[in-house]
Amino acid sequence: MSKKMTNTNKLNNIYNLNDTDTNNNIYVFENNFSFHTMEYSLSIDKNTFDKVYKYMTKIYGIRAQSEKKKKNKYLYYEWANLKYCGVRVILSKPRGYVKDSFFKYKIKLIINPRSLINEENEYFGIFKTNPENVLKLKSLLDVLIYDIGLVQENDTEYWKNIYSTIDIFKLTRIDFCVNIIFDSADIAKNYLEILSRGDIYDFNSDGSVFEAMKERHRKYKNELLYEYKSFNLKIYNKFEQMRDIGKSDLIPMEYEGYLRFEMCAEKEKIKYLIKKYNYDENNIVTFLLNASREAKKQFKRYVTFLFKKGVFMNLKSAREYVECCKTDGLINSRQAEEITDFLNLVSEKRSIYKAKQCIESKITEKRIFSLFNEIRLNPITIPEIWNQKGRKYFFLPSPYEIMGFKNDKLFNYQ
């Protein structure tokens, strides 16, 4: 029998851990990866801007005019909930004269596909990216072109042929998402605290991201945020977010432990994905039909790196488990010492990333994380204070396990 198989049985026997009953079923995982918000943008000239602005103002009135900081070079006009729920229309123009200003006028459509299709505001759940939903979404957006006045009855046939489809717009943002629902707000809050001790994805070989960590990787109340150049990853308690804005009554009480993982991919990231996987940039339907697959790939990549694969244990249990693995011959004494030392270091620094700075080389770092993967243990440990307060959580599954990546052979991100 292989070491890996022996270790899997060992872990299950010691902590009663298996794929269907983890820690007494403290969570429900919505086993679907999708998106919940998307943004389309279209660059227009001044005449087209004036045409749409005049139509929108006549039909809907001005919902809002942004009076942002004076340094902002643009004015924004916004309308929401036109004939449908889930749609916001934003027009932007330069405050003053701008050279080559054709590309400075824009129409933006910010869309919640679930609300648009269902015609009601729903604040939890996942948009199902099946052909029926995606084609219905496309059809509604094609009609929306007329509802905002971009295409009008007296326009030329040439204009109608060009602008009568949403395909003329560019997809400039899509928010991939997946949900984990714990059985209480308390568990969700503490789980978020565990994740705040994770790694940091550093795109710069010089380690400069560490210097900017406080600005680019922030922890708010009920939220973690990881910001990068062309996307950001946010993890937050949806129920608490709705309570903060006075709308908690819209979410049933059983969803108090609702954690949403959300990755906001912006223009450059979308362009990269479309090019890499050969989607037709002039027919975004193919991309949306595969949005679930793309979301799964992206979450697997970053969840694996930031929060690692193994099970979270409290420090005492983790040390005991390492000793069991050594006794069972899964690792030798030197390897057990390396694992234990790094566990202590992460616990002390309260961050995998900060603990990594104490490792002398990338080779050593790679070897240590490989050992953790081999024995299915996470470098992040559950704070001992949890058990002092009577919670008695000796282990918790990582997002990697909850989201089902452990048995997933389709995507191989290491």
Q: What pLDDT score does 64 carry?
A: 62
Nearest-Å Rg of the Cα atoms of the chain is 25
> What is the sign, positive or negative, of the torsion defined by CA atoms of 362, 368, 373, 378?
negative
pLDDT category at 392 given cuts 50, 70, 90 is low
Helix (H) / strand (E) element for 257: namely strand 257-266
Angle at 57 between CA 52 and CA 59, to 5 degrees: 95
| Residue-level pLDDT at 226 | 83
Spatial separation of the C-alpha atoms in residues 57 and 322, rounded to whole Å: 67
| 181, pLDDT greater than 70 | yes
Cβ pair 306, 226 in contact under 8 A: yes
Tell whether the model's pLDDT for residue 168 goes beyond 50: yes
- pLDDT tens profile 279-300: 887 778 888 988 888 999 999 9
- C-alpha distance from residue 219 to each of 122, 167, 311 (Å): 26, 38, 22
pLDDT at 142: 93
Classify residue 94 by burial, with Cβ atoms within 10 Å: 0-12, 13-18, 19+. Answer: middle
pLDDT of 16 over the 60 cut: no
Digit-coded pLDDT (tens) for 103-161: 689 999 999 998 888 755 566 667 888 899 999 999 999 999 999 999 998 999 999 99
**Comparing 250 with 193, which gets the higher pLDDT?**
193
CA distances from 270 to 186, 231, 288 (A): 36, 9, 11
Pick the range with the lowest mean pLDDT from 173-177, 300-304, 306-310, 386-390. Answer: 386-390
DSSP 11-64: HHHHH---SS-STTT-EEE----EEEEEEEEEEE-HHHHHHHHHHHHHHH---E
pLDDT at position 1: 41
Residue 31 has pLDDT above 60, yes or no: no
* Contacts of 362-371 spanning 24+ positions with Cβ under 8 A: 367/338, 368/338, 368/339, 368/342, 369/308, 371/331, 371/335, 371/338, 371/339
Three-state DSSP string of 276-312 = HCCCCCCCCHHHHHCHHHHHHHHHHHHHHHHHCCCEE
296-335 pLDDT, tens digit per residue, is 999 999 999 999 999 999 898 899 999 999 998 889 999 9
Q: Provide the percentage of residues in the chain whose pLDDT is more than 70.
A: 75
Yes or no: say if 160 and 7 are a contact pair by the CB < 8 Å rule. Answer: no
Collapsing DSSP to helix, strand or coil, 4 comes out as helix
CB contact at 8 A, 6 and 328: yes
Look at residue 5 in the predicted model and tell me its pLDDT. 46
- Confidence (pLDDT) at 148: 92
Q: Is 213 a residue whose pLDDT tops 60?
A: no
Confidence of residue 338 (pLDDT cuts 50, 70, 90): very high
Crossing angle of helices 3-15 and 362-374, rounded to 10°: 60
Give Cα 397 distance to the centre of its chain: 19
How many CB atoms lie under 10 A from the CB of residue 100?
6
Q: Average the pLDDT over 10-33 and give the result.
A: 52
Q: What is the mean pLDDT of residues 54-76?
A: 74
Q: The pTM is what?
A: 0.83
CA distances from 223 to 95, 129, 228 (A): 35, 27, 16
Strands 170-182 and 257-266: antiparallel
| pLDDT exceeds cutoff 50 at 379 | yes
Question: Has residue 248 got a pLDDT over 70?
Answer: no
Three-class secondary structure assignment of 203-256: CCCCCHHHHCHHHHEEEECCEEEEECCCEEEEEEEHHHHHHHCCCHHHCCHHHC
